[in-house]
């Protein structure tokens, strides 16, 4: 038995013991064994992305954001213009990065509960012919909404604009196939549906983009082209890799390959359905329509039990005391709390989380009732 908290978060997540155990071995970063592991990581990533023929996988040290920023810096130049589709935190973050690097961008925004609208994207591309790139998030983890990934990529291809996909929380669980979808750049990391520890992100890049002349990075660490070239020429990372995390990622990719993306999707969907059914009974509703709800994480709203961020903090701490960790922030726009369904989650974890939420809701009711009846007998009479 592990005494780790049970993570019901959309990354980092609870991972398998044998994957953690891989981190007990110290390897030299330029050693032949580590180079072989690096090669295999790159090969598995490509295979899972469906990009064995025309793509390259470029791992990068750091969290997912590092690889997003590296992709934008490397592949968006001063003469380019980017259309950024935003319906949550991570889309907005891409726009913020581009602005910080003084790249020209225009933002197409949607409410957090509405998927990116393909017609509006096409209209924007039609209206502004100077747009060279489009960025969007596959599964916007802010609410767990799935954006129309294939239709957006089809529009990008038709218009000849370069696509940059944030697939951080979808790679490994949602259907991604480079050969079929022909994205240009897709970015993800090890610590979401790949079920590895945090520390390594990666981009899957179409070979046609990997040319010095057409890349633009002005930083050393975030130059994905240079990182790629170095892997190709030496099989080594340019700077010290997280060697232990890389070994764990290697094991996690072997496990993902063995399980299969669609079986992993099914496993997460079962977690998600169990959670939604239980939360509904407690008067918490998902903020998304069923058709756009991913099995990655669910945003729940209950104006009765969790009306604001202050009460959310109490609920968070109540769950934490029960050994359960959910996403730590209340989402003001949708007034929701977020619970992850990914990782090595056991059914009993979800049942225990539901019991803890029920207990909390009961105490809340008790508190309200005693407040109304004059403030005595706080916490008394938790209803069934
Ligand atoms: C988690 C996440 C990120 C950011 O990844 P970090 O590892 O926290 O830097 C970006 N986009 C999406 C869709 C995510 O889910």
pLDDT of residue 289: 98
CA distance 191 to 13: 7
pLDDT in tens, 243-293: 999 999 999 999 999 999 999 999 999 999 999 999 999 999 999 999 999
CA angle 279, 190, 213 (to 5 degrees): 130
Query: Comparing C-alpha atoms, which of 101, 88, 84, 96 is closest to residue 169?
Result: 88
> Quick one: three-class SS letters along 310-359?
HHHHHHHHHHHHCCEEECCCCECCCCEEEEECCCCCCHHHHHHHHHHHHH
pLDDT at 357 exceeding the cut of 80 = yes
Could you give the 3-state DSSP secondary structure of residue 187?
strand
pLDDT in tens, 82-120: 999 999 999 999 999 999 999 999 999 999 999 999 999
Q: How many residues does the chain have?
A: 384
Provide the H-helix boundaries in 76-136. 89-100, 118-127
Based on its alpha-carbon atoms, the radius of gyration of the chain, rounded to whole angstroms, reads 22
Q: What are phi and psi of 137, to 5 degrees?
A: -105, 130
Say how many Å lie between the CA of residue 71 and the centre of ligand 1: 14
Strand partners, 331: 336
DSSP structure class, residue 207: G
Residue 100 CA neighbour count, 13 Å, CB half: 10
pLDDT band at 178 (very low <50, low <70, confident <90, very high): very high
Say how many Å lie between the CA of residue 363 and the centre of ligand 1: 34
pLDDT at 177 exceeding the cut of 60 = yes
pLDDT at 215 exceeding the cut of 50 = yes
pLDDT of residue 367: 75
* Best mutation site among 11, 201, 297 for ligand 1 pocket (most ligand atoms within 8 Å of CB): 11
pLDDT band at 372 (very low <50, low <70, confident <90, very high): low
> Global pTM?
0.95
CA distance 197 to 248: 7
Which ligand 1 atom is at minimum distance from the Cα of 137?
A: 13
Peptide bond into 9 cis (omega under 30): no
Which uninterrupted H or E stretch holds 301? strand 297-301
Locate 113 and state its tokens. Answer: 């509960």
Which ligand 1 atom is at minimum distance from the Cα of 65?
A: 9
pLDDT at 379 exceeding the cut of 80 = no
């Amino acid at each position: 038995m592990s005494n780790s908290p049970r993570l019901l978060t959309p990354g980092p997540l609870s991972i398998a013991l044998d994957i953690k155990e891989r981190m007990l071995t110290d390897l030299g970063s330029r050693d032949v064994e580590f180079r072989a592991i690096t090669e295999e990581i790159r090969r598995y990533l490509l295979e899972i992305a469906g990009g064995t023929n025309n793509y390259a996988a470029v791992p990068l040290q750091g969290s997912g954001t590092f690889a997003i920023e590296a992709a934008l810096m490397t592949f968006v130049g001063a003469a380019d213009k980017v259309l950024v589709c935003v319906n949550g935190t991570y889309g907005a973050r891409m726009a913020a990065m581009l602005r910080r690097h003084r790249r020209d961008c225009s933002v197409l925004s949607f409410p957090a509960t509405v998927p990116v609208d393909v017609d509006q994207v096409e209209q924007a591309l039609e209206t502004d012919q100077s747009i060279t790139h489009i960025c969007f998030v596959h599964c916007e983890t802010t609410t767990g909404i799935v954006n129309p990934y294939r239709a957006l990529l089809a529009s990008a291809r038709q218009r000849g604009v370069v696509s940059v996909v944030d697939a951080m929380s979808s790679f490994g669980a949602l259907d991604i196939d480079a050969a079929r979808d022909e994205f240009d750049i897709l970015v993800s990391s090890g610590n979401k549906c790949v079920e590895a520890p945090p520390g390594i992100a990666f981009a899957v890049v179409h070979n046609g983009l990997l040319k010095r002349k057409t890349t633009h990075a002005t930083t050393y660490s975030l130059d994905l082209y240079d990182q790629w070239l170095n892997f190709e020429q030496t099989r080594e990372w340019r700077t010290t890799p997280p060697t232990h995390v890389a070994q764990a990622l290697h094991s996690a990719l072997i496990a993902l390959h063995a399980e299969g993306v669609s079986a992993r999707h099914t496993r997460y969907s079962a977690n998600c359905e169990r959670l939604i059914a239980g939360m509904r009974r407690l008067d918490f509703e998902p903020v998304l329509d069923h058709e756009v709800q991913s099995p990655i994480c669910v945003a729940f709203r209950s104006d009765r039990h969790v009306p604001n961020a202050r009460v959310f903090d109490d609920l968070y701490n109540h769950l934490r005391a029960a050994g359960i960790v959910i996403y730590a922030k209340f989402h003001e726009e949708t007034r929701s709390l977020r619970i992850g369904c990914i990782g090595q989650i056991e059914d009993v974890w979800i049942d225990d989380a539901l019991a803890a939420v029920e207990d909390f809701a009961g105490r809340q009711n008790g508190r309200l009732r005693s407040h109304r009846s004059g403030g005595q007998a706080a916490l008394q009479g938790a209803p069934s």
